[in-house]
């Protein structure tokens, strides 16, 4: 398992709120962080390592 992300990959905000999540990138396994706001609004993220994009 990869390390947990500490900031949202899309917005950069710290992952401190309830509903924040961290998961491995489907493309390369790098930790991806998502804040509740970005998750709810479907803001795209781009993996900093392999450029994989997801909602």
Looking at the structure of the chain, the number of domains it has is: 1
Q: Give the pLDDT of residue 34.
A: 97
Q: Give the pLDDT of residue 3.
A: 87
pLDDT of 7-54, one tens digit each? 999 999 999 999 999 999 999 999 999 999 999 999 999 999 999 999
- Is residue 1 scored above 80 in pLDDT? no
- Domain range for 9: 1-55
Q: Long-range CB contacts (< 8 A, 24+ apart) of 10-16? A: 10/34, 10/35, 10/38, 10/43, 10/44, 10/45, 11/35, 11/37, 11/38, 11/43, 13/37
Q: Give the pLDDT of residue 40.
A: 95
Q: Give the pLDDT of residue 2.
A: 55
């Amino acid at each position: 398992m990869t390390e947990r992300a500490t900031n949202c990959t899309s917005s950069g905000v710290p992952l401190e709120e309830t509903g924040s999540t961290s998961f491995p990138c489907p493309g390369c396994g790098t930790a991806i962080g998502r804040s509740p706001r970005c998750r709810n609004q479907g803001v795209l993220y781009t993996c900093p390592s392999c450029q994989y994009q997801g909602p």
